[in-house]
Structure 1
């Protein structure tokens, strides 16, 4: 059932929307002409760091050696990130979740409500798991655009990505927080600098990062600001471009599922189509998880590291798909979304090597300390993290690059290490509005290109990032 087309707003609102749309279109035109793709960013970033190393007195040979030494330093983390993407995709495309999406798509009745509702779902789901959100909300946006007449497909597509630009890093799958909480995921060089400020303890538990009250309040404020901005960013009916206008065909989600599940079976395929071992594996995994969290010495949250998140996703996907053949098919379809991680993360590791395995990290830490104090350090790091995020579009691997000197400077200024992880998370997420890397899975589902939505994401950046700077500055004094 389609919703009613929203009536046109007043003249003042039309003027405001036109101004925002003009800014968005100018920014989109700039990015289309001048910015490289995500892999180009990491290559450019490599030589920016190399030049920075030369400027600080490092020899070219030392930088080259450090680049090679760091190239494989993130190999375990690379696999973890790829598995999170694939696991999140497999959960999102399961039949029960597809039925849930079809029901949720009936909630909004007007184009403006549809865009705002999609924004809310994107942020809530990203807080739970960013990889699941990328696919789940994209499928939801596609179904809403089919059901609600007159919704702007570009705007709702941008809102489907909103969680990755706002709250994901403060949630249960935030890479930096999970990484510093797990010895297996955090490089030895990062653990060493953490230990210097924590009496020899090389990890920071989640209770000291994303689950502090300052972090929770900041996340809520960013959520409300982004939701309000989504409401005002929605274009009027006269300016909207629907999926049909863009030449994109939208088919009913449940019909697609029924067609895909109709397959010819051979007698020998009973194991692939039987839920027996999916159920048994799910029960085995549940048994392990109960024991795993129970062994956390009264703090189950501390047991939630990257490996545990991946295991939960895969077990949930297996149980939701019910039959092994459906699970295997979902993983095959989700694997291409992880190709960028597999290609680019080793190069991020090489950048990390040039920073962590030379004197460059101490030089940068010295600069940050010299121009800041306990109050100014947090907003300075926030701005720096957002800028670096344009070149290194990954919360986890970028954190590895920044951690040695951010934590090192925090130790010198007596700033809480856990708070600096929160500051990093809040600022790093905003950078995702400015580069297309993490948009790719969402765009693939929607059939859009980055240029179609980046005008809207840039407008959202202008609304959210100043709020982040105020939050990290105010809470730094508490």
Structure 2
């Protein structure tokens, strides 16, 4: 039954779902229209807030892009790629293929969502090559769907933000260590529950007929440099020597270790330095690292293009009062026991309009945290409720799927039908668990 529903939904989505950039522009126009009728103001004021907000999150955008790039470059280290290829050989049946792909991707998302993009892409391609009975669009959905777990992992934007000294809400909620957010018992339980049950849903959605296997595309061979540039000059020797990459990588890793010894908690900057340093150390030569970085950069172009639009949407949500109306509406009917659940639902809704954990926290945190604390709700659980809600609807907001799709050569409409059904399950299960754990 679930397989039949997934197949029909997938075919409908492929017919009617537009490109992700088109969705970003449509959402921008939608927020303008709704914002105007929610709190009628001069259209010029809404446009001004959009333009002003367009560049507000440039620093955060750079942090996110580096998080993605450093993770992808680390995953392209030869021994990491070979390890993934070896693991793919164990996916001998379609169900094993779906489960293995989900599990490997989930573990990668826990470590770093940027790492997970390329790990999932490499692994799903290797599995697809070896298992022609597996439905490749569902395999890609299995690789992407663990995005809902990243909020409990080491690159959780909200969890790391509130653990950063002098974050923008520190005066209201204080600095919250990761032991109370991403490493708390309740977070671990929700993570494990989703980790165990989501692959089951994926296997139940697998089509019995009309299976579309992976089709390898020919990759054009790299042109060999000829002529005078082949000469092994001192400049080329500097690019190829492993000494420079190892040394600068060790310096970065030494910095990371000393920071942890001195009591620094995980935050976006330390994660970026750590993965950058590991990539330099394992790639060794600066030339090889630079090539890997250049190849990874293409996958970030949709983020660089679309993130300013979503930053503008966040600004309009704030200036028009629409964001506050959504949050206040749910908070007004919540009690101390249900506040985190309504926060989760509100975050899921806001994330569809503004798919950025950090940007969403900048909008939702100043409204949600004081209201929750007034009811006696732990600010750590409020932060995680926003994080879970943000990750939940990433399944149906195509923005963060763009990098992995660009690597595997599919369109968002090929996987979104499966992701939509997974979103229903994730939302229901997480809501129930939060009711008892938060």
Query: Taking structure 2 as the reference length, what is the TM-score of the superposition?
Result: 0.90
Partner of residue 216, structure 1: 188
1-side partners of 2:331 and 2:143: how far apart? Answer: 39
Q: Residue 413 of structure 1: CA displacement?
A: 2.3
Going from structure 1 to structure 2, the CA distance change for 1:57 and 1:119 (only over 3 Å counts) comes to closer
Does residue 453 in structure 1 map to residue 435 in structure 2? no
8 Å CA contact 1:393, 1:432 repeated in 2: yes
Match of 1:120 among 84, 93, 103: 103
Tell me, in whole angstroms, the C-alpha distance in 2 between the residues paired with 1:134 and 1:86: 10
Q: Which residue of 1 aligns with 2:332?
A: 370
The answer on whether the counterparts of 2:299 and 2:404 sit within 8 Å (CA) in structure 1 is no
**Does the 8 Å CA contact 1:225/1:464 hold for their aligned counterparts?**
no
**Root mean square deviation of aligned Cα:** 2.7
Q: For residues 408 and 356 of structure 1, what CA distance do their matches in structure 2 show?
A: 16
Which of 71, 85, 89 is equivalent to 1:102? 85
Relative to the length of structure 1, the TM-score reads: 0.83
Q: 1:113: how far off?
A: 0.8
Contact 2:310-2:353 within 8 A present in 1 as well: no
- CA deviation after TM superposition for structure 1 residue 409, in Å: 2.3
The alpha-carbon deviation at position 363 of structure 1 amounts to: 5.0
Give deviations 1:40-96, integer Å, cap 9, x for gaps.
Answer: 344344444444544454633554443343332211101001111111111122211
- Taking the aligned partners of 2:393 and 2:252, their CA distance within structure 1 comes to 36
User: What's the CA shift for 1:126?
Assistant: 0.5
Name the counterpart of 1:5: none
Picking from 54, 74, 82, the partner of 1:91 is: 74
Q: How does 1:1-12 map to 2 (within 5 A)?
A: none
CA contact (8 A) 1:111 1:150 kept: yes
Query: 37, 51, 57: which one pairs with 1:74?
Result: 57
Structure 2 counterpart of 1:293: 260
Deviates more, 1:125-134 or 1:450-459: 450-459
User: Structure 1 residues 68 and 155 mapped into 2: Cα distance closer, same or farther (>3 Å)?
Assistant: closer
Residue among 231, 242, 257 paired with 1:266: 231
Note closer, same or farther for the CA distance 1:109–1:430 as it changes in structure 2 (3 Å cut).
same
Q: Secondary structure at the match of 1:161?
A: helix
What is the match of residue 428 of structure 2? 466
The alpha-carbon distance between structure 1 residues 150 and 465, as it changes in their structure 2 partners (threshold 3 A), is same
* Matched residues, number: 432
- Alpha-carbon distance, 1:455 to partner: 2.2
Instruction: Return the offset for 1:358.
Output: 7.0
Q: State the distance in 1 between where 2:319 and 2:417 align.
A: 39
Q: Tell me how far 1:215 sits from its aligned partner.
A: 0.9
Structure 2 CA distance, aligned partners of 1:453 and 1:396?
25
Could you report, residue by residue, the CA deviation over 1:188-212 in whole angstroms, capped at 9, with x for unpaired residues?
4xx2xx523x3xx3x3332221111
The answer to whether the 8 Å contact 2:283/2:289 transfers is yes
**Matches for 1:187-202 after TM superposition, within 5 Å:** 188=168, 191=169, 195-196=171-172, 198=173, 201=174
Which residue number in structure 1 is paired with residue 124 of structure 2?
A: 141
Matches of 2:420 and 2:340 in 1, distance apart? Answer: 23
Q: Is the Cα contact below 8 Å between 1:62 and 1:358 reproduced in 2?
A: no
SS of equivalent residue, structure 2 residue 395: coil
- Alpha carbons 1:41, 1:392 under 8 Å: kept: no
Distance 1:401 1:271 in 2: 47
Aligned to 1:14: none
What SS does structure 2 have at the residue aligned with 1:292? helix
Write the distance in 2 (CA, Å) between the matches of 1:86 and 1:142: 20
How far, CA to CA, are the matches of 2:404 and 2:23 in structure 1?
20
The answer to whether residue 255 in structure 2 is matched with residue 283 in structure 1 is: no
Q: Are the equivalent residues in 1 in contact too, given 2:70–2:276 (CA < 8 A)?
A: yes
Tell me, in whole angstroms, the C-alpha distance in 2 between the residues paired with 1:354 and 1:390. 14
The match for 1:12 is: none
Partner of 2:157: 175
Q: Using the alignment, how far apart are the partners of 1:52 and 1:459 within structure 2?
A: 27
Distance 1:173 1:344 in 2: 21
1:64/1:408 Cα in 2 relative to 1: closer, same or farther (>3 Å)?
Answer: farther
Question: 2:210 matched to 1:225?
Answer: no
Select between 47-56 and 343-352 the one with higher mean Cα deviation: 47-56
Unaligned runs of 5+ in 1: 1-18
Distance 1:472 1:261, change over 3 A: farther
- The 1:40/1:420 distance shift into structure 2, 3 A limit, reads farther
Shift of residue 376 of structure 1? Answer: 2.4
Q: Indicate how the Cα distance of structure 1 residues 261 and 461 shifts in structure 2: closer, same or farther if over 3 A, else same.
A: farther
Q: Aligned equivalents of 2:240 and 2:127: distance in 1?
A: 32
2:143 paired residue number? 160
Q: Distance in 1 between matches of 2:362 and 2:294?
A: 30
Does residue 321 (structure 1) correspond to residue 283 (structure 2)? The answer is yes
Distance (Å, rounded) in 1 between the aligned partners of 2:401 and 2:332: 37
Q: Distance in 2 between matches of 1:431 and 1:319?
A: 36
